[in-house]
Amino acid sequence: MRIIMIILMLVSLNIEYGKEKKVEYNELNEAEKRVIEDKGTEAPFTGKYWDNFQDGVYKCKRCSSDLYRSQNKFSSNCGWPSFDDEIQGAVKRQIDADGRRTEIICANCGAHLGHVFTGEGYTDKNTRHCVNSISMVFEPIQQEETAYVAGGCFWGVEYYLEELEGVISAESGYMGGKVDDPNYYQVGSGQTGHAETVRVIFDPEKTTYEDIIRKFFEIHDPTQFNKQGPDHGKQYRSAIFYNDEKQRETAQDMINILKEKGYNIVTELLPAKEFWLAENYHQDYYQKKGGQPYCHRQIKRFD
């Protein structure tokens, strides 16, 4: 009987897993359908975004998923918007119908975006996403600032900081080590020197760097050295990586407040180095898997 129940449960899980995710589509006009659905191409120098360099995010016209950030856009003088990188996991590559080029489509809804080329030498990444303006919608960001914090497993830190009003995004990655572009297993070995770090992009008109640091100190234990909860190792150390002297002073002021309250703070205060984005399965981990962080919880430490 137990075996039968297990088999039924596995079948049920497979059926559920095999269900296609429902994607809501925005209404398209005929010109948009010709490019997005029929894989056409708009004429060069006619799209609204080919020469747009305002700060912001480029979203899919059909499903509104984030595709590209403005900091990855560059001028190639080809007549179409050019990017040297996409938001991780946002774009899929496949062989074009002509059998030669590489087509790029929205990973969420399959909308045709354009083509990707390599080896042209425009930027250090040596990649050019040539995208039709009509396939995208641009959402400007008036202002944004960045904070880098490490406090144990980045899943929990990312989870709690994303809750803060004014936070545009929180991404898991690695910072503070000696190896370029490390992967999770290299960092986990403790040999690279990296800390599991969260990059927080926020709107300074809605929240402040001090707010970010205050919450950071209240969602992890800054008195634990090279560990956090059940996770042990230098990669789980508590650290703040500051971008400038103003951020350093703010972070130091917060540390001083906690020390005056009797906390033995071990948080490192270091200049920011190269941030390496972690693998896609680490991003928004708890939103994908469900549940709550197991080694982080919010404790009020400031008045």
Q: Which residues are catalytic?
A: 130, 153
| Cβ count near 33 (within 10 Å) | 14
- Short-list 154, 298, 155, CA closest to 218: 298
Distances in Å between the Cα of 188 and the Cα atoms of 46, 51, 219 are 49, 42, 22
Q: Which amino acid is at 188?
A: G
Residue 162 · residue 171 · CB < 8 Å: no
Residue 35 · residue 25 · CB < 8 Å: no
Place of tokens 């006009």: 29
What's the residue count for the chain? Answer: 303
The two tokens of residue 269 are 């205060």
CA 193 to chain centre: 22
